[in-house]
Each structure stands twice: as structure tokens, then as C-alpha cells.
């Protein structure tokens, strides 16, 4: 189950990367399409383009700079146990004496990832951080497996959501279909 979650996480990362490019290309094509449309409609489309880019640019990574605290509510005890093992190794208080800046930055990123994983009850992410730090997770419980399954389901849902956006469908279509998608998008908004 962990390997499936790892694969889906990598797939989601790749889809997010491609999606950013597709958004840019779609926006550029929308601008070209706008030039061909009557001036009365242009302002509506410009607003739509702004709204599209705003809607599509939700950045979930903004939580990475939070202080090393987790919400005490609703964290499964098994997940909390792994989190504690991680923090014993990489909490900023423990790593402040490390002189190697690269290692310090790595631990800082892993610490942020562990905090996010605990707050989101993301079993894959917490397990991945633990494995990267060489922390042994010997007692894998049913809740751990269930949590990994839930993480996989969430990754699959995010990937499906990306694949159902106008920019994604447009970018993966032939020229004729792209025109239809662009027209449909303009009419919708």
C-alpha cells in the first residue's frame, strides 16, 4: 500500500507540474481566441481569464512555513506515535546545533512535511518522512493501512480533478477538439 501511495504521490506531483504548463498554454490560447471575438464580449472573457487563473492557482504549499506545531485534535494515536519519533530526530530545537546548512534545510523541510502530514492525517506523507529519516516502523497497524488507503484515495481524487479541468482536457486534445473546448469554455463563462 505504501508503494501505491508513493507512486500516486509522484504521479500527482507530475500532474501538478504539467497542469501549471497547461494553464499557461490555455490562457495564452484564450487570449488569442479573445482577439477574434467581438469587443463587447472581450471584457467578459478577460474577467473569466482572471478568475480562471485565480481559481486554478490555489497553492497548498503555503502551509510549509508554519511553526512546528500540530493540531492536538483528531490525530490518530498511531500517527502521533510516528510523528513523535520524527520530531525527536528533526525538531528545530534538536537540529539547531547542526552546522551543515544543506542537512539543516533538509531536516527543516522534512519537519514541515511531518507537521502537514500530522495535521492532515496523511499516513503516506508521515510514513515517507519516517522512512527517509531511517526511522523504523515495525508495528504497522490496521489504522496505518487504512490511513495509507485513504491517502491513495485522496491522491487519486486530486489527479482526477486535475484531469477534468479545461486546461488539462484542452492540452490533451487534437486541434479540432481544442477549438470546441475553447468555445465551450467561453460560452460557459
Task: Check whether 123 has a pLDDT greater than 60.
Answer: yes
| pLDDT value, residue 39 | 56
Position 4 pLDDT exceeds 50:
yes
pTM, two decimal places: 0.60
Q: Which residues contact 15 (CB under 8 A, 6 or more apart)?
A: 159, 162, 163
pLDDT tens, residue by residue, 23-58: 888 888 887 777 766 555 556 656 666 666 666 655
pLDDT above 70 coverage of the chain, percent: 79
Please report the pLDDT score of residue 61 as a whole number.
40
150-154-160 Cα angle (round to 5): 145
Give whole-number Cα distances, 18 to 11, 21, 170, 171, 187, in Å. 10, 5, 12, 10, 25
Residue 157 has pLDDT above 60, yes or no: yes
Q: How many CB atoms lie under 10 A from the CB of residue 5?
A: 24
Calpha distance 179→86 (Å, rounded): 51
Residue with cell string 527517509: 132
Average pLDDT over residues 86-106: 86
Amino acid at each position: 500500500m505504501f508503494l501505491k501511495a508513493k507512486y500516486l504521490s509522484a504521479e500527482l506531483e507530475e500532474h501538478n507540474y504539467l497542469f501549471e504548463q497547461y494553464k499557461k498554454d490555455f490562457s495564452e490560447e484564450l487570449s488569442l481566441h479573445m482577439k477574434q471575438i467581438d469587443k463587447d464580449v472581450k471584457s467578459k472573457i478577460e474577467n473569466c481569464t482572471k478568475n480562471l487563473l485565480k481559481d486554478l492557482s490555489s497553492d497548498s504549499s503555503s502551509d510549509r512555513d508554519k511553526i512546528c506545531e500540530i493540531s492536538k485534535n483528531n490525530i490518530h494515536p498511531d500517527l502521533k506515535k510516528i510523528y513523535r519519533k520524527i520530531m525527536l530526530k528533526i525538531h528545530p530545537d534538536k537540529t539547531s546545533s547542526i552546522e551543515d546548512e544543506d542537512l539543516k534545510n533538509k531536516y527543516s523541510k522534512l519537519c514541515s512535511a511531518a507537521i502537514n502530514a500530522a495535521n492532515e492525517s496523511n499516513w503516506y506523507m508521515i510514513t515517507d518522512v519516517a522512512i527517509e529519516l531511517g526511522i523504523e516502523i515495525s508495528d504497522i497497524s490496521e489504522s496505518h493501512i487504512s490511513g495509507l488507503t485513504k491517502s491513495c484515495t485522496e491522491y487519486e481524487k486530486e489527479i482526477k480533478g486535475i484531469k477534468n479541468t479545461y486546461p488539462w482536457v484542452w492540452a490533451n486534445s487534437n486541434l479540432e477538439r481544442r477549438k470546441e473546448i475553447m468555445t465551450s469554455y467561453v460560452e460557459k463563462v
